[in-house]
Amino acid sequence: MKVAFFVQGRDVTAKYVALATKRLEALEVDHAGTNVSAPGVTHVVASLFAREAPVGLDKDVQIVTLAWLQYVVSKQGHEPSELTAEMDWRRCKAMQRNGAPDGEGQVKSAGADFQAWVEMRLSGNTSTSADGRRIPSRYLQRCNAFVLRGKYLGLADFPPSEIPRHDAQPSKKRKRYDAHQGYACFKSGTIAVQPNLNEHLTNAFQPLVDYYEIFNDEEWRKVSFKRVIDLLRSLKFKVTSADQLRSYRGIGPKVFAMIDEALRTGYITRAKEVWKSDAAVSLRDLQRVHGIGATVARDLHKRGIRSVAELREHKELLNSVQLIGLEYLDDIEQRIPRAETGAIGKFVEDTARALWPSKALAVETCGSYRRGKSSSGDVDVILTTPDQAGCPPLADLIAELHARKFIAADLTQPKDQLPVNRQGQVARKQTYMGICKLPGYKVHRRLDVKFYPREQFPFALLYFTGNDHFNRSMRNFAKRKGWSMSDEGIFSAQRQRSERIAKASRPVDTHFRTEKDVFDWLGFPYKHPTERNCYDVTFA
């Protein structure tokens, strides 16, 4: 078990760092604590422990605090107000009465009961604080639920009294929550920011990935290098010697030598060599455009187009998708701050709820956002309804988003002629890709929206949350056992191209209600969304 924690501030912070360290040492846990000094926040940490730290739990845990996130965000030059939008103040408010953090955008103080509770968790007790003080039972329950919900169940949106039991029947009184019966547990309340401790190495490898990305003939070499980067990024220590990585899956003789070279000299010769070619540079530049891949770039290059700048003078060579990609290139390339990703997801959600007021909808922003990243490349939203019969047409939602001037351009045409059943509902997944912009914002963003029938939703969440290595890994795991897994479900593998693949041993007739159902059914250890920022999933 490894624990990494990041805290920032003074006052309360130092105290909890000491407590956490003590506790971790008592558990003989391999831990690494980082204390970050940045102005602005002092008293946040206590609430962060409640929010993020499953202290004293015997699982493989990662303690990550929003304070660290705040530090990262401030380093990137964003306003603190953006950060406060990240925090789920509804949950803080629930604790406000008890002296917990104030919800008006600034955490002011942690109440005595709350601090006592944190200390209790840190000391491993369950009902009394470290100094023997008894914590009021109502408050105890509330705090415990707070942590458990945030970390393991993620039922963040439900006040404690409204946490649905797994066997609960849909309540007629709380219609709005109907859709979340069984689905809300996918909400991820955790923000995990793991700093890349091995930037010195990932930076050295990135040019190799970029290089192989621009051709389509060495896909697997590219994938291998990509895995190496994600492996390095996932490490909780800074690599100082290639020998530290000798036993890791994905590090072979070639990569080992490259890591060794990068550590000694600061760069990889091979990575420098490949980019000496002007053609490679041109091809990479052209492929910045959405819709231009290896083949099209090569074709354009043959026609004498060497850069995006030159491409802008020859738009007649592009199809409609590429034209949009070119038009919004500068915007799309920019990273999206986490707060904006959330706001875009909320805009889609609000629009959907306004459009189908009688429908109970589950809406989830996935992708790197759901994996807890502090910025994203695009926004991925998926929806479902508890309706067994199917979903309303996604095209209607897209039309409404157009009407609200939220969507600026379509990269795919929303199908309005999908096969519908007698109720006029669509019983298969519907997908959309486009460009959007929030009212009052300057930069356009890539938006993906998908609408899934509810029985596919757990699989859709898994797929749309990623990351790509995680998906490939999990699907590979399923395949070896004789199943084929996708965003629509799990099926008996039709083709068996390899002897490694076992014959499916049981029919797939289970009803999967949650992501965890899928993990359990596969015999695959459950991973919280924030634990899916991985390069590979190992299984015993």
Partner DNA sequence: TGGCGGTACTG
Partner DNA sequence: CAGTACC
Partner DNA sequence: GCCA
Q: Do 532 and 466 form a contact (C-beta atoms < 8 A)? A: yes
Does position 249 bind DNA by CB under 7 A? yes
Site for DNA in 76-115 (CB under 7 A): none
Please check whether residue 242 is in contact with residue 259, taking contact to mean a CB–CB distance below 8 angstroms: yes
H-state helical runs in 171-198: none
Quick one: DSSP state of residue 288?
A: T
Residue ranges in 107-248 assigned as alpha helix (H): 112-123, 137-148, 199-213, 219-234
Pick the binder of DNA from 89, 152, 256, 356 (CB under 7 A): 256
Choose between 195 and 250: whose C-beta lies nearer to DNA: 250
Q: Coil, strand, or helix at residue 5?
A: strand
Beta-bridge partner residues of 448: 380, 433
Q: Which of 33, 40, 291, 482 binds DNA (CB under 7 A)?
A: 291
Work out how close the CB of 533 gets to DNA at its nearest, in angstroms, rounded to a whole number: 10
In whole angstroms, what is the distance from residue 480 CA to residue 536 CA? 15
Pick out residues in 387-416 that bind DNA (CB under 7 A).
412-413, 415
Query: Which segment (27-35, 63-71, 93-101, 291-299) binds DNA by CB under 7 A?
Result: 291-299
Q: Across the strands, what pairs with 436?
A: 407, 445
Q: How far is the CB of 133 from DNA (least distance, A)?
A: 45
**By the 8 A CB rule, do 277 and 318 touch?**
no
Q: Does 196 bind DNA (CB under 7 A)?
A: no
For DNA, the binding residue among 74, 368, 374, 385 (CB under 7 A) is: 368
Residue 515 interacts with DNA (CB under 7 A): yes or no: no
Q: Is residue 448 a contact point for DNA (CB under 7 A)?
A: yes
Residue 67 CA to residue 71 CA, distance in Å, equals 6
Alpha carbon 490 to its chain's center: 22
Q: At which residue do the structure tokens 């963003």 appear?
A: 445
Tell me which of 500, 507, 509, 511 binds DNA, using CB under 7 A.
500
- Amino acid (one-letter) located at 528: H
- Over 58-101, what HEC string results? CCCCCCCCHHHHHHHHHHCCCCHHHHHHHCCHHHHHHHHCCCCC
For the chain, the C-alpha Rg in angstroms (whole number) is: 25
Residue 535 touching DNA (CB under 7 A): no
- Contacts (CB under 7 A) with DNA, residues 206-235: 216, 220-221, 223-225
* Cα separation, 398 vs 348, whole angstroms: 9
The window from 107-115, 134-142, 179-187, 251-259 that contacts DNA (CB under 7 A) reads 251-259
Binding residue for DNA, selected from 141, 320, 388, 510, defined by CB under 7 A: 320
Q: How far is the CB of 470 from DNA (least distance, A)?
A: 8
When binding is defined by CB under 7 A, the residue of 254, 303, 405, 506 that contacts DNA is 254
- Closest contact distance (angstroms) between CB of 486 and DNA is 3
Residues of the shown chain interacting with DNA in the complex, contacts defined by CB under 7 A? 216, 220-221, 223-225, 248-256, 270, 287, 289-297, 319-321, 325, 366-368, 377-378, 380, 412-413, 415, 428-431, 433, 446, 448, 463-468, 471-472, 475-476, 478-479, 484-488, 491, 493, 497-498, 500
